[in-house]
Amino acid sequence: MDNIKSTSTQTKKISTIFIVIISVMLILSIAALFQVFESYRRGRLDTANLILSVSAVTISIYMLLQLRVKPLKLGFEPQKVLTTIECVSCGYKMTREFKAGDFMFKKVESCPQCNERMIISSIYKAPQQKS
């Protein structure tokens, strides 16, 4: 267990150093950009410096955005599961949400149409709706 903890804290340490480096780079490149503007106001356009500093700013912002922690999806999220109940004799069908204790081919309450027995005919993951 100690090993795991040390690994994860190490990850955090490395990433803070990384953030500091990128921030320094960002500040420096912004300073360079500012200098370019200063010299432009004095009448001299330094194209090379402009291109270099602009690209440095873009790269550091991009890297900072990349560092943002994405929400981890572990796959344990509860899923919507549907249960279909079917009447054996008249074919009456009904779908509801899964309840604990449901299983396929379980005899459940009698049919509202013909009072015959009904069984659970299928249990499945609800298809994902695209919004």
Query: What are the residues binding Zn ion (CB under 5 A)?
Result: 87, 90, 92, 111, 113-114, 116
Nearer to Zn ion, 64 or 114 (CB): 114
Measured from the CB atom, is 47 or 131 closer to another protein? 47
DSSP calls for 44-90: ---HHHHHHHHHHHHHHHHHHHHHSPPPP--S-S---EEEEEEETTT
14 binds another protein (CB under 8 A): yes
At 79, list the tokens: 């899923």
* Residue 131 binds which of another protein, Zn ion, none (CB < 5-8 A, kind-dependent): none
Dihedrals phi, psi of 73, to nearest 5 degrees = -100, 115
First to last CA, the chain: 42
Nearest distance in Å: CB 47, another protein: 4
- Residues near another protein (CB under 8 A) are 3-4, 7-8, 11, 14, 46-49, 51-52, 72, 74-76, 78-79, 81, 98, 100-106, 119, 122-125, 127
